[in-house]
């Protein structure tokens, strides 16, 4: 596997950064995961714009132009063995001279990127779907989850709550029992023909899969798509529950807290939505 570190391409095994890197010491950095499907990077512009928002939010200068990023990531994509892969990239504040919470006014950001293979995309046919099982829990992460920070301990611990319960993910609810997101995905539910996802705020990552899907549904017409608060009760009564992420596309949830969602198989709206995403990616 080829890695990119601060301007150089080299084998991942020989890539190295300083232990004084603020990304390592403080989780002081921003990351992106860009899906590549059938040998094409998906929604590159949206990913670049979210990266810029994250860097702006924590006051790191973007060390590369969009063109540089594109050239670099395309090279990593071409070096990947699989047509379906994810490109991971992170920009940290770089190495510190001594450990101090306070960061200097200027620093040399550290850039790291590499690609790894992910499962092939489903075309939306029910036979190609893997239904996921999830539990629910209280969202105990920080109040700035809209920033795609490399500090993911809160998400890691939440995901492990699911793993320890024998399931794949966890749906998180805030103190008012409103759905925020999952440990590493955004969430959609359906109720009859309504497709609902929570509105964006500081409690959720503005997922690119989420935004692409909403735009496709609005453009396609015939969808009843809303961004609205979702209560725990609505999740319990939902006909369908979906998780979205760069690496999962739209994944149907077939069980929440040991109870079947609908009839316990991926639903018809999931199938239609995944087909829409599959056919009209941009
Ligand atoms: N995770 N919410 C959280 C907390 C996430 O970590 C992710 C993505 C999403 C979905 O965002 P997108 O559609 O842009 O991938 C929502 C990535 C894939 C990860 O950390 O590996």
DSSP 118-168: -PPPP-S-GGG---EEEEEEE--S-S-TTS-BS--HHHHHHHHHHHHTTSS
Say yes or no: domain 2-117 is CATH 3.40.50.620.
no
Catalytically annotated residues: 148
| CATH architecture for the domain at 126-279 | Alpha-Beta Barrel (3.20)
**What CA–CA distance (Å, rounded) separates 213 from 240?**
16
pLDDT in tens, 240-262: 999 999 999 999 999 999 999 99
136 CB less than 6 Å from ligand 1? Answer: no
The pLDDT of residue 141 is above 90: yes
246 CB less than 6 Å from ligand 1? Answer: yes
Q: Is the pTM of this model over 0.95?
A: yes
pLDDT on residue 216: 97
Domain borders along the chain are 2-117, 126-279
Substitution candidate for ligand 1 out of 51, 148, 245 with most atoms within 8 A of CB: 245
pLDDT band per the 50, 70, 90 thresholds, residue 59: very high
212 CB less than 6 Å from ligand 1? Answer: no
CB atoms < 10 A from the CB of 186, how many? 24
């Amino acid at each position: 596997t080829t890695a990119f570190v601060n301007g150089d391409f080299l084998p991942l095994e020989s890539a190295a950064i300083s232990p004084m890197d603020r990304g390592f010491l403080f989780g002081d950095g921003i990351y992106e995961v860009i899906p590549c499907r059938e040998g094409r990077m998906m929604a590159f512009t949206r990913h670049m714009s979210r990266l810029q928002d994250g860097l702006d939010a924590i006051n790191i200068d973007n060390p590369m132009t969009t063109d540089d990023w594109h050239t670099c990531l395309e090279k990593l994509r071409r070096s990947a063995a699989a047509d379906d892969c994810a490109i991971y990239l992170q920009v940290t504040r770089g190495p510190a001279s001594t450990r101090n919470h306070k960061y200097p006014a200027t620093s040399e950001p550290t850039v790291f990127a590499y690609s790894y293979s992910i499962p092939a995309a489903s075309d939306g046919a029910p036979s190609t779907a893997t239904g996921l099982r999830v539990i629910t829990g209280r969202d105990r992460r920080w109040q700035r989850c809209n920033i795609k920070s490399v500090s993911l301990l809160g998400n890691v611990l939440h995901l492990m709550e699911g793993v320890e319960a024998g399931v794949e993910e966890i749906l998180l609810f805030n103190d008012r029992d409103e759905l925020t997101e999952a440990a590493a995905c955004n969430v959609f539910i359906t109720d009859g023909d309504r497709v609902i996802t929570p509105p964006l705020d500081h409690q959720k990552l503005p997922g690119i899969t989420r935004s692409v899907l909403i735009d496709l549904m609005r453009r396609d017409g015939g969808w009843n798509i809303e961004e609205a608060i979702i209560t725990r009760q609505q999740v319990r009564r939902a006909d369908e529950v979906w998780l979205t992420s760069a690496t999962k596309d739209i994944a149907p949830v077939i069980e929440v807290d040991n109870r079947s969602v609908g009839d316990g198989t991926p639903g018809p709206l999931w199938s239609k939505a995944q087909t829409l995403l599959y056919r009209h990616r941009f």
